[in-house]
Amino acid sequence: MKIKKRKKTFVLLIPSFEDIFHSFYAGEIIKGVSATASRLKIDVLIHITDRFDHRGWLDSSLLDPDYIDGIIFGDIDNDIGIVKKAISRGIPVIVLNNYLQEPINCVAIDNYQAAVKVVKYLHGLGHTKIATIAGDSITQAGQFRLDGYQQALAELGIEVPKHYVTQGDFLRTPAREAAKKLLKLKDRPTAIFAASDVMALEVLDVAQEFGIKVPEELSVIGFDDNPLNVNSAIALSTVAQPLAEMGRLGTEHLKQITLGQAKLPVKEMLSARLIPRRTTVEFKA
């Protein structure tokens, strides 16, 4: 005989990646979800999954509506199929950090428009040689930031050399290698848009190693407004995204969905905010 639960139970599912327990993204999502769940008197189980083997994301215990009332996907690495699997079992779900065209509940940040804004900001400072260190393209956030960068330059009529687009995967070591590659170029960029602050900090470190002055010779802008920026010798220009707010909204929406009080599908897009600081400056040829 099954015991009736006193409170709703949600699962927060987060794909694992390098340094996840020091991750600003994961920490902010957990903070937003857990604080909201506490206020709404909902229990939350945090389920950290294998990033590359999605078969283990949803085991039998997570697909039993007698025990689990809803699943919050912290990200899905472009695997809509895993979300549909939960839906097919009758489990209410909401996906964070992805805006889905299919009728699936989601709350996302407008990474595309944020990247467009970054490029146009740098262009407004006089930069035309703008390179990027892109995030992991398996994530929608990484791909959309790259798409926004490329689209903004196209709209401005600026042809981007292929070697100005490098890959950092949101990780330190690949980002450092990408920064070295860019800063060794004969036609070195005058500005670099790194798709995360962690990667932007690597650019600053490599620039210092190479004797390149920031921002006089190189403007750098990141993405996240990560607290790690306090360790930077110069205040990093960046983009702040409302991650905890995304977690809060996802939890609130999911509760309404489980109560039958939401108009489905729930879809919400949040804006990111450009924060100019000392690593970007007007370019003087």
Both tokens assigned to 152: 């903004």
User: pTM for this one?
Assistant: 0.92
111-240 CATH fold: Rossmann fold (3.40.50)
Matching fold, domains 8-109+242-270 and 111-240:
yes
Closest CA to 274 of 107, 108, 115, 150: 115
One digit per residue, the tens of pLDDT, for the chain of length 285 reads 455 556 899 999 998 776 667 788 999 999 999 999 999 999 999 998 887 787 778 887 788 888 899 999 999 988 999 999 999 999 999 999 999 999 999 999 999 999 999 999 999 999 999 999 999 999 999 999 999 999 999 999 999 999 999 999 999 999 999 999 999 999 999 999 999 999 999 999 999 999 999 999 999 999 999 998 887 889 999 999 999 999 999 999 999 999 999 999 999 999 999 999 999 999 887
Which pLDDT belongs to residue 59?
80
Which pLDDT belongs to residue 65?
85
DSSP the chain: -PPPPSSEEEEEEEE--TTGGG-HHHHHHHHHHHHHHHHTTEEEEEEEE-SS-GGGSS-GGGG-TTT--EEEES--TT-HHHHHHHHHTT--EEEES---SSS--EEEE-HHHHHHHHHHHHHHTT---EEEEE--TTSHHHHHHHHHHHHHHHHTTPPPPGGGEEE-TT-HHHHHHHHHHHHT-TT--SEEEESSHHHHHHHHHHHHHTT--TTTT-EEE-SB--GGGGGSSSPPBEEE--HHHHHHHHHHHHHHHHTT-SPSSPEEEEPPEEE--TT------
Which pLDDT belongs to residue 33?
98
**Strands 165-167, 191-194: pairing kind:** unpaired
Domain-wise residue ranges, the chain = 8-109+242-270, 111-240
Both tokens assigned to 124: 């407004």
Which pLDDT belongs to residue 193?
98
Residue with tokens 């190189």: 218
Closest CA to 258 of 73, 63, 12, 42: 42
Which pLDDT belongs to residue 252?
98
- Please tell me the CATH code under which domain 8-109+242-270 is placed: 3.40.50.2300
Both tokens assigned to 110: 């407008």
Instruction: Determine the Cα–Cα distance for residues 106 and 187; give it in Å rounded to an integer.
Output: 42
Which pLDDT belongs to residue 19?
67
Residue with tokens 């110069």: 234
Which pLDDT belongs to residue 133?
98
Q: Rounded to the nearest 5 degrees, what angle is found at the Cα of 105, between the Cα atoms of 99 and 109?
A: 30
